C-alpha cells in the first residue's frame, strides 16, 4: 500500500492505481470526460486535473493517468485547478456546444460565458470511441488522423471500414454526439438551463464540508473569492 496526502487527508492506495481512482474511493469528486472505467486512461480532456507538489514546484497533472507515489501531495480543488478546468470546459464547449454532457459540466462549474467563436464540430476528440472500438470491441475500425488543428477521428483513408461491425458502441460512449442539449440553440451563448442551484458555501470554501456533492465541485465560491 502507498500512503500519500490528498486535500490534507492521509490516504492509502494500492500500488499501480491512479490518483483519480484513489480520490473516487475516498469520495472526492473529480470531473472527467475522456475517462471510462472499462478503458485505458487517456488524459486528453484535462478535466481531471489536480495540483501536485508544493510551493513553486506545484504543477497540474491529469489524475486519471497519474500513478500514486509514496509521499505525493495532491489537492483536487484549488483555485488554480478550478480555473484550468473551467477554461477546458469553455474550450470544449466552443467546439461542441450541442453536447448535453458538456452543457451540464458548464452549469456545474459555473461557466456562464463562451468567449470563443463556436465551431460546431460536435467532436471534442476525447478518444472514447477510438478506445472503445479497439479495447472493448476489438475491432480497431476507427482511429485518429492528422495532428494539431487538423486532427479528426475516422476510418483509415476515410473509406468504408471492412472491420466495423456497426455495433454502435462508439455512439453509445460519445459524450458529444448522442445526448443533445435540449436548451436553446447555443449559437453564441451557453444554455445554463441546469444552473438552478445556488451555492451556499459563500463564506468559506471547504471541500469536505461542501454539501453539493451531487452537483459536483462547483467552485462558485472560489470564483467569488477571487473577485
Cell of 90: 469553455
Gap between the Cα atoms of 125 and 45, Å rounded: 8
Q: How far is CA 104 from CA 6, 88, 168, 213, in A?
A: 26, 14, 24, 15
Cell of residue 118, nine digits:
463556436
CB of 3 to other proteins, least distance (A): 17
223 binds other proteins (CB under 8 A): no
**Sole binder of other proteins in the list 94, 99, 107, 220 (CB under 8 A):** 94
Site string for other proteins, 151-190 (x = CB under 8 A): x---------------------------------------
In this structure, what C-alpha cell is assigned to residue 139?
A: 475491432
Number of residues that bind other proteins (CB under 8 A): 36
Residue from 1, 10, 56, 117 touching other proteins (CB under 8 A): that is 117
Asked if 105 interacts with other proteins (CB under 8 A), we say: no
Residue ranges binding other proteins (CB under 8 A): 42-46, 49, 59-62, 65-67, 69, 80, 83-84, 87-88, 91-92, 94-95, 115-117, 124-125, 127, 144, 146-151
Amino acid at each position: 500500500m502507498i500512503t500519500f496526502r490528498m486535500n490534507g487527508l492521509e490516504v492509502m492506495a494500492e500500488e499501480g492505481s491512479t490518483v483519480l481512482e484513489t480520490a473516487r474511493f475516498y469520495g472526492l469528486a473529480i470531473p472527467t470526460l475522456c475517462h471510462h472505467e472499462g478503458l485505458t486512461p487517456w488524459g486528453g480532456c484535462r478535466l481531471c486535473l489536480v495540483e501536485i507538489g508544493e510551493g513553486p514546484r506545484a504543477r497540474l497533472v491529469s489524475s486519471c493517468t497519474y500513478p500514486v507515489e509514496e509521499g505525493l501531495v495532491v489537492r483536487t480543488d484549488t483555485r488554480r485547478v478550478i480555473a484550468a478546468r473551467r477554461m477546458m470546459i469553455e474550450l470544449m464547449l466552443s467546439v461542441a456546444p450541442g453536447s448535453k454532457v458538456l452543457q451540464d459540466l458548464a452549469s456545474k462549474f459555473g461557466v456562464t460565458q463562451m468567449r470563443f467563436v463556436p465551431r460546431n464540430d460536435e467532436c471534442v476528440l476525447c478518444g472514447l470511441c477510438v478506445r472503445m472500438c479497439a479495447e472493448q470491441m476489438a475491432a480497431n475500425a476507427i482511429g485518429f488522423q492528422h495532428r494539431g488543428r487538423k486532427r479528426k477521428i475516422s476510418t483509415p483513408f476515410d473509406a468504408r471500414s471492412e472491420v466495423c461491425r456497426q455495433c454502435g458502441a462508439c455512439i453509445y460512449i460519445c459524450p458529444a454526439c448522442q445526448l443533445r442539449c435540449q436548451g436553446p440553440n447555443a449559437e453564441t451563448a451557453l444554455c445554463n438551463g441546469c444552473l438552478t442551484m445556488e451555492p451556499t458555501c459563500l463564506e468559506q470554501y471547504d471541500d469536505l464540508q461542501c454539501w453539493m456533492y451531487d452537483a459536483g465541485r462547483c467552485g462558485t465560491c472560489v470564483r467569488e473569492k477571487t473577485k
